[in-house]
C-alpha cells in the first residue's frame, strides 16, 4: 500500500511542475486563454488581408476613374502642356 502512496505522491509532484513548449513561466497559463489568443491573432491577420485586398481594389478603381479611357489622350494632354 505504501507503493501506491509513493506513486501517487510522485504523480502529484509531476503535476505541479510545468512542462511543455507553451509554458514560459512557473505559473501555467490557461489553455483557454492561449486558444483565444491564437484565434484572435488569426482573425486579425484575416481582417488585415481582407481589408488590404478591398483597399487595393478601390485604389485601382479610383485610378481608373482618374485616368482617361483613351491611353493616347494622356500623351496629347502632356504635349499640349509642354508646348
Grid cell listed for 72: 493616347
Taking the C-alpha atoms of residue 34 and residue 18, their distance in angstroms, rounded to an integer, is 15
Q: Has residue 9 been placed in a domain?
A: no
Its pTM stands at 0.49
Count how many domains the chain has. 1
Q: Has residue 19 been placed in a domain?
A: no
Expressed as residue numbers, the domain containing 79 is 30-83
Q: Has residue 10 been placed in a domain?
A: no
Taking the C-alpha atoms of residue 83 and residue 80, their distance in angstroms, rounded to an integer, is 5
pLDDT band of 19, cuts 50, 70, 90: low
Q: Has residue 12 been placed in a domain?
A: no
Q: What is the pLDDT of residues 25-47, one digit of tens each?
A: 555 567 888 889 999 999 999 99
Q: Has residue 82 been placed in a domain?
A: yes
| Residue burial 30-40, b: 16+ Cβ < 10 Å; e: rest | eeeeeeeeeee
Amino acid at each position: 500500500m505504501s507503493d501506491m502512496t509513493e506513486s501517487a505522491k510522485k504523480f502529484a509532484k509531476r503535476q505541479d511542475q510545468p512542462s511543455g513548449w507553451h509554458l514560459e513561466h512557473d505559473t501555467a497559463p490557461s489553455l483557454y486563454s492561449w486558444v483565444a489568443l491564437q484565434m484572435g491573432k488569426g482573425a486579425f491577420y484575416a481582417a488585415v488581408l481582407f481589408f488590404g485586398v478591398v483597399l487595393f481594389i478601390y485604389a485601382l478603381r479610383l485610378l481608373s476613374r482618374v485616368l482617361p479611357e483613351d491611353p493616347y489622350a494622356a500623351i496629347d494632354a502632356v504635349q499640349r502642356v509642354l508646348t
